[in-house]
Amino acid sequence: MTKNGADSCPISPDQIANRAEETAVLKSQSRFVSTFLLAILAGMYIGFGGIFSVVAVTGMSGTWPFGIMKLVQGLAFSLGLILVVVGGAELFTGNMLMIIAWAQHKISLISMLRNWCIVYLGNFLGSILLAYLFTLGRSYGLSDGELGRLLFTIANTKLSYDFLQALILGILCNILVCLAVWLSYSAKNTTDKILAVIFPISAFIAAGFEHSIANMFLIPVTFIIKTIDPMFISNLDFDLSQFTWPQFLIHNLLPVTLGNIIGGAFIIGLVYYFSLRKQRQ
């Protein structure tokens, strides 16, 4: 077969697994500062996707069909993971796939957990930094404040989930997010990476699944708006009693994070390991 012919062949799942393992090894060996800075960027990138998705559907509720509105929202949110995958950043939810390399004994459990902890903290810092900048720029006031109202509507819905519901929505979310990252390992160029990401990410947003890193921006930004601009809050018809840090951290972020770990590491990562790797040992 010619070189061009070989280049035109699709990447097999086994080759995708090889790339996932190689990437995990590099991530496990990365210095703290590099990993942490790239994690801050990823938190901001996912936040930008969140901003874009909310802006894209502002004013659509009650006018456009629900399904079309959610599709638009999902397509816009895909920006976040596209920036992570193409630009190169460290995202906690996508790094669940490192478990394949651990199962193959190519990285240690300590190095994997170290990466997850550093990246999670960096993602949180990047998300909060963007939330502060977004609020200080008064961008929530766009469309006569409709953008800000929609942010509060979204946060209110997320904060109303019970623990089990948030956990399950987190599981379902990271099945799709890790599939997007997994598919991106089959890419031969930038266009391939973008196309691999768009549909799984659009699907999880459209279905209302829960992403821990996205929530690090979408919920705290309402707390910051509430603190910085009480005049804007006075015009909202919301019960703000549940808009608190304990409610967010314990009743949303904790179960969603656990769900993301289960969906990404165990349902996608280990299932691919046992199907593509374990049977060949």
The pLDDT assigned to 281 comes to: 55
The packing angle between helices 66-87 and 163-184, to 10°, is: 50
Domain contains 180 = yes
- Whole-angstrom distance, CA of residue 14 vs CA of residue 5: 19
Residue 1 lies in a domain: no
User: CA dihedral defined by 176, 178, 183, 184, rounded to 10 degrees?
Assistant: 120
Per-residue model confidence as pLDDT tens for the chain (281 residues): 445 555 667 889 999 999 999 999 999 999 999 999 999 999 999 999 999 999 999 999 889 999 999 999 999 999 999 999 999 999 999 999 999 999 999 999 999 999 999 999 999 999 999 999 999 999 999 999 999 999 999 999 999 999 999 999 999 999 999 999 999 999 999 999 999 999 999 999 999 999 999 999 999 999 999 999 999 988 888 788 899 999 999 999 999 999 999 999 999 999 999 998 655 55
Number of domains forming the structure of the chain: 1
Burial of residue 8 (CB within 10 Å: 0-12, 13-18, 19+) is exposed
Residue 121 in any domain: the answer is yes
pLDDT at 239: 83
What letter represents residue 6's amino acid?
Answer: A
CB 152 within 8 A of CB 245: no
Q: What is the pTM of this model?
A: 0.94
Distance CA 266, CA 262 (A): 5
Distance of alpha carbon 281 from alpha carbon 90, whole angstroms: 30
Residue 61 DSSP SS3 = coil
Asked, for residue 2, whether it belongs to a domain, the answer is no
- Determine contact, residues 116/239, Cβ cutoff 8 Å: no
Return the CATH number at 159.
Answer: 1.20.1080.10
**256, part of any domain:** yes
- Position 9 scores a pLDDT of 76
The answer as to whether 7 is a domain residue is no
Are 218 and 151 in contact by the 8 Å Cβ rule? The answer is yes
Domain around 125? 12-280
Residue 191 lies in a domain: yes
For residue 194, being part of any structural domain is answered with: yes
